[in-house]
Amino acid sequence: MADSLNNRRLKILHAADLHLGAPVAVPDCTLSPQAGQARGEALSRLVKTAIREKADLVFLGGDVFDSPNPAPGARLTLLRALTELVSQKIRVFIAPGNHDPRTPLSVWESLPPVEGVHVFATQAEGVALEDLGVWVAGCAHNSRHVTEDLAQTLPPPPSGLTGLALLHCDPTGDIENQAHKPYAPAELSRLRRGDFAFWGLGHWHRPQILNRSPLVLMPGAVQGAHKNETGPHGAWLVKLSGQACEADFAPLSLINHHRLDLNLEPGIKDLTDLAWLISQKLPEKSSEETGIECLYLGLFGQSPLWRYFQGAEADYSAEELKKALDLAGLELKTDGLSPMADPAELEAGEDVLAGLLAMLKKIQADPEQAASLAKQIKKNLHPLACRQNSDDLAGYIGSLLPKVRDLALASLLPPEQEKE
Ligand SMILES: [Mn+2]
């Protein structure tokens, strides 16, 4: 670490991928108002954190907006945040990314300038902050598809200043990438060898520490967009001093997405057992700020809980689970559940259920049976289903069979026949 900081501790709050203006998906339409506010709220929490922590600098590593021409509401959200930060003497640097590239007609050319906020140009540049002893280098994307390694274009710090870099890029190479196509690929090994003490990156939506010395950080999206963006979302609070640099993660998201797929053991007998099992698997709430917790839950296996998720009972069970776990949203997938009964034994019986199950099994095993059934019931089907050709129709009938089986079991299986 360079001595230029003179034993002074520099604090940077580094975030990226705010995607202001983009929707946040929630499992329940009653949460739409909060979903609409989530990205703005995450930014407002970022501002509060920067002020509370007395940050010297705030870095925004690109994709601040979801598009180069965001709606007025999204622009205003950012302007308010920037104004508040600079009013507290916190300087802000922004390096636009592939979602909000700095094209001639983009938001970056029309947004009113705020003193104390530096938006990097498409030509790499460095800004000397003599009072802090640092050099902040960065550059903006000039299009949605930058293929160049922009990291190599950043001007190194002049002697006497500690180099800080801010860039939206895809640090491929020896770090496994996360299903993002390589926009602006940056070789991590080169970042490690370079002249900068800190690399604040953006682009991946999951937070990661990519290297300790020099410190290379991916902050992830400040607010997760949907059920595939689970886990903590927020910003890195970076502390740089002459001796060391540390990074602490600050969770900032309003809506937290969680995903669980559970294969239920027979020992999970009721909703209390299930709620307890889930609570053990969900992360503890780490933020002092209130979060809105949304769970996407898949249940599988032969389980006594099967009956709780049949017919009208299913809505009641979902409501009870939501209350017990203090969830704002719950999306349930329970068609992988089946009753605690031996299928062979059920089919071998002599009652209506046994006859029905045996018939369904026969149709499922034999495509000709499905085709013949399709032909027989065609006139009773919805007109849209009838328009399909006979092969498709047989396939459609085939796809309904598991549902028919579930319905038959739910309606005709006496509870006492379910084994403990
Ligand atoms: Mn991006």
Interval between CA 145 and ligand 1 midpoint (Å): 10
Class of domain 3-253: alpha beta
Q: Please, is 262 exposed, middle or buried when counting C-beta atoms within 10 Å of its C-beta (0-12, 13-18, 19+)?
A: middle
pLDDT score, position 48: 98
pLDDT score, position 124: 97
In whole angstroms, what is the distance from residue 37 CA to residue 319 CA?
24
Interval between CA 257 and ligand 1 midpoint (Å): 20
Interval between CA 46 and ligand 1 midpoint (Å): 19
pLDDT score, position 249: 97
Interval between CA 142 and ligand 1 midpoint (Å): 13
Interval between CA 97 and ligand 1 midpoint (Å): 6
Residues in the chain: 420
Query: Reduced to 3 states, what is the DSSP secondary structure of residue 204?
Result: coil
Cβ atoms of 1 and 162 within 8 Å: the answer is yes
Interval between CA 370 and ligand 1 midpoint (Å): 48
pLDDT score, position 396: 81
Interval between CA 173 and ligand 1 midpoint (Å): 17
Within 8 A by CB and 6+ apart from 66, the residues are: 19, 20, 21, 22, 74, 99, 100
Interval between CA 144 and ligand 1 midpoint (Å): 9
Interval between CA 95 and ligand 1 midpoint (Å): 11
pLDDT score, position 173: 58
Chunked into runs of 10 residues, the chain (420 residues) has average pLDDT values of: 66 98 95 96 98 98 97 98 98 97 96 97 97 96 90 94 95 57 79 92 96 95 97 96 87 96 94 97 76 96 92 93 96 92 84 90 86 82 72 80 86 79
Interval between CA 362 and ligand 1 midpoint (Å): 52
Interval between CA 183 and ligand 1 midpoint (Å): 8
The per-residue DSSP string of 357-386 comes to HHHHHHHHH-HHHHHHHHHHHGGGS-HHHH
Distances (CA, A) of 212 to 5, 142, 215, 273, 303: 18, 30, 4, 42, 47
Domain ranges in the chain?
A: 3-253, 256-338, 343-417
Structure tokens at 73: 């509401």
